[in-house]
Amino acid sequence: MGNRTPLYEAHVAQGAKMVDFSGWDMPIHYGSQIEEHHRVRRAAGMFDVSHMCVVDLRGARTRDLLRFLMANDVAKIDGQPGKAIYSCMLNERGGVIDDLIIYHMDDLWYRVVVNAGTREKDIKWVRKHAPSFDVEVEVRSDLAMIAVQGPEARDKVHQVLGPRAADVSVLGRFCAAESGPLFVARTGYTGEDGYEIMLPEEQAEDYWHALLEAGVAPCGLGARDTLRLEAGMNLYGQDMNEETSPLISGLGWTIGWEPQDRRFIGREVLEAERSAGIAQQLVGLLLEEKGVLRAHQKVSVEGLGEGEITSGSFSPTLGKAIALARIPAGDATRCSVEIRGKQLAARIVKPPFVRNGKAVLIEVN
């Protein structure tokens, strides 16, 4: 038996198929992964993401600690309480320890949300460096987390919150606010608008059922994966890891190069890689023939060489197989993927594949 979130019994009662995910018993779907995917794209769906780890950092030099630990620069959100920033946390080799979201709540308090599969090493890494900056590290194991996503998601959450909706209805994208016992962030991992709600674990089931009554569909991790892939969002452990840098993982835009005198872990390695020119690139693939794209399938690009799919799946929105793949750097618009001994043709495109529920297929050149 794995770890269980406060919503485990609710999932079982609703007929969810439970699977192991990073040591947690989590719902993969409630009957139809594709229907759940479409529900998020067209209306509103919710995900139990309580397996993710919330960490509060407090102290006068918390900003300095985060500017040292993160490739992106939290100074970009100075003076904006509630504003969030996405960043990779790197090792000394420039590899990605994790990708995470940081919320700047005030000058003494930053909230960080890390991935379930990396929580232990993330916490160990932060605690290793926190004493040098006199920062307190608090792991919020008392909190659950529900992500409500889709074009109708915000309205549904406001309906459930009632009068307290005024606390969050004014939030801009990538911003957060407290509303009573709730911490509500206008963030997500689906490419749709919505909220990620952090709340006391003992209240999670009540809010889950209230959202159900408001017409929000329960969705499993299967739909969450196809949604994030369509949105061109990386998955840690597949599209990047401790052996890959942000530069070859399509995340160069998250690196805060300026100011030049900011020292952060892994900076020297990234600067050298940038100066030499990256040897690989992360691209999107759209299969032009019938087949299924999966991680680790070989990709051949004429004139450039071979690469590998990092994430692949069937896209319910497009009705075709799509993937993220790491291939040699260079100009190309077509490639082939080896599937069961056959070479199938694919287009090379720039992620995302879907935006606002509609196809967005842009050639890389």
Average pLDDT of the chain, as a whole number:
97
Residue of 26, 3, 187, 208 whose CA lies nearest to 111: 187
Residue 97 clears pLDDT 90, i.e. is over it: yes
Residue 185 clears pLDDT 70, i.e. is over it: yes
Lowest mean pLDDT among 33-37, 72-76, 342-346, 356-360: 356-360
Percentage of residues in the chain having pLDDT higher than 90: 96
Domain count, the chain: 1
Residue 265 falls within a domain, yes or no? no
Measured between alpha carbons, how far is 311 from 284 in angstroms, rounded to an integer?
A: 10
Residue 327 clears pLDDT 60, i.e. is over it: yes
Residue 294 falls within a domain, yes or no? yes
Residue 65 falls within a domain, yes or no? no
Residue 305 falls within a domain, yes or no? yes
**For position 325, which CATH number holds?**
2.40.30.110
Measured between alpha carbons, how far is 219 from 43 in angstroms, rounded to an integer?
A: 12
In this structure, what token pair is assigned to residue 109? 């308090």
Residue 180 falls within a domain, yes or no? no
pLDDT band at 348 (very low <50, low <70, confident <90, very high): very high
Percentage of residues in the chain having pLDDT higher than 70: 99
Domain that holds residue 349: 279-363
pLDDT given for residue 365 in this prediction: 54
pLDDT given for residue 2 in this prediction: 86
Locate tokens 């490419």: which residue? 191
Tens of pLDDT, residues 98-123: 999 999 999 999 999 999 999 999 99
Residue 287 clears pLDDT 70, i.e. is over it: yes
The mean pLDDT of 147-174, rounded to a whole number, is: 97
Residue 330 falls within a domain, yes or no? yes
pLDDT given for residue 246 in this prediction: 98
The mean pLDDT of 10-37, rounded to a whole number, is: 97
The mean pLDDT of 140-166, rounded to a whole number, is: 97
pTM of the model as a whole: 0.96
Tens of pLDDT, residues 189-233: 999 999 999 999 999 999 999 999 999 999 999 999 999 999 999
Residue 337 falls within a domain, yes or no? yes
Residue 325 falls within a domain, yes or no? yes
Pairing of strands 176-179, 143-149: unpaired
pLDDT given for residue 94 in this prediction: 98
In this structure, what token pair is assigned to residue 27? 């719902």
200: amino acid identity, one letter = P
The mean pLDDT of 257-268, rounded to a whole number, is: 98
pLDDT given for residue 1 in this prediction: 75
* Helix %, strand %, coil % of the chain (to 5): 25, 35, 35
The mean pLDDT of 63-85, rounded to a whole number, is: 98
The mean pLDDT of 224-253, rounded to a whole number, is: 98
Residue 362 clears pLDDT 90, i.e. is over it: no
